[in-house]
Amino acid sequence: MSILADKNTRVVVQGITGREGSFHTRQMMAYGTSIVAGTNPRKGGQKFDDQVPIFATVREAVEQTGANAAVAFVPPRFAPDAILESADAGIALVVCLTEYIPVLEMVKVRAYLDSTNTRLIGPNCPGLITPEQAKLGIIPGNVVMPGSVGIVSKSGTLTYEVIGALTHKGVGQSTCVGIGGDPIQGTDFIDCLRLFQADDETEQIVLMGEIGGNAEELAAAYIKEHVTKPVYAFIAGRTAPPGRRMGHAGAIVEGNVGTAESKMEALTAAGVVVVDHPDQFADVIS
């Protein structure tokens, strides 16, 4: 079992003919993901790599292929409309990799999505992967292995590091989700914790947070009240100077709010095992 995506997920790639879209679509297909369609308003009727039909709109793709998930490789100025287009077409899951989308644009997108049944992963994220079933995004397929550890992370590269360390030790993963580090996200820690808690085959959970905001403190409160499975966590950015943004747009500390220490204290108080370095997950998870 998995959360969010599996071998039955039917994916349409928005921006399939662009440089990034083409490269990563081939990677997703090679991993076994069911890519059933792509979109490009100017190339409808053509085929990608002589295999995947290209449509002018997502609605056409849904109507003709039964696509139920979308992965958006679309430039920042077009990405908000791409997300909304998928939602209007009835897509249940949208993964948006795009970074540098203006925050005010994402505020509007999130407000609209809250009135629909569409779940957004991202933006500015690596996507998700269910080992040996489906890969929606750019998480490397060669570092994962099937198992019972669910992973949710704000960071892309740290996610790969943790997955690689666990796999090297022989500890497999159920689903790995990169939610991104922008201030406005489609899916947050609590959303993923809820899904992992309900997943019978996820036995342990890894949470990769970072400085800035209060998402980790909110997650700690949720874990304390609702999560019965073991949770392990790491907070990135412990050495960042106050008031300076580090990496993600949401990773900024103001005074005592959003510090690594406050997050670690909250998680520890909720019964979470907090490690000092991502490599230590492989030592504490069995």
Positions annotated as catalytic residues are: 248
Give the span between the Cα atoms of 13 and 270, in whole angstroms.
Answer: 39
- Number of H-type helices and E-type strands within the chain: 9, 14
Residue 62 near residue 86 (C-beta atoms within 8 A): no
Is 258 within 8 Å of 212 (Cβ atoms)?
yes
* DSSP-based three-state secondary structure for 124: coil
Q: Report d(CA 264, CA 217) in Å as an integer.
A: 8
Which run of H or E residues covers position 157? helix 156-169
Neighbours of 3 (CB within 10 A): 21
Q: Which residues lie across from 34 on neighbouring strands? A: 10
> What is the C-alpha to C-alpha distance for residues 267 and 274, in angstroms, rounded to an integer?
7
- Rounded Cα distance, 122 and 113, in Å: 13
In a 13 Å sphere around the CA of 94, the CA atoms on its Cβ side amount to 33
